[in-house]
Structure 1
Amino acid sequence: MSTYNLLEHLLFPSIFLNKQKLDRELEGKTVLITGASSGIGEQLAYMLAEIKVHLILVARRVDKLVAMKNAIEMKAAQISVFPADLRNEQEMEGLLAFLHQLPDGLDIVISNAGHSIRRSIHQSLDRYHDFTRTMAINYFAPVQLLLSTLPLIEKKQGHIINISTVNTLLLPMPHWAAYQASKAAFDTWFRSAAPELNMNGVFTTSIYLPLVRTPMILPTAAYQKLPAMSPQHVARIICNSIYTKRKTYKPWWLIVGQLGSLLFRRCLEFSIPRRLRKRGKRQ
Structure 2
Amino acid sequence: MIDKGRAFSTIKVYLAAISACHVGFGRDTAGRHPLVRRFMKGARRRLFVPKPLFPSWDLSLVLDALCQQPFEPLGEIDMKLLSLKTALLLALSTAKRVGEIQALSVHPSCLRFSPGFDKVCLIPNPSFMPKVMNPSYHCAPIELRAFHPPPFSSSEEQRLNSLCPVRALRTYIERSRSFRGADQLFVSWALSHRGKPISRQRLSHWIVDAIELAYIHKGLQPPGALRAHSTRGMATSWALFKGVSIEEVCKAADWASPHTFARFYRLDVTAPSLAHSVLRVGAV
Q: Relative to total residues, which structure has the larger strand share, 1 or 2?
A: 1
Q: Relative to total residues, which structure has the larger helix share, 1 or 2?
A: 1
TM over 0.5: no
**TM-score range relative to shorter protein:** under 0.3
Tell me the TM-score normalised to structure 1 length: 0.27
Structure of larger gyration radius: 2
Tell me the TM-score normalised to structure 2 length: 0.26
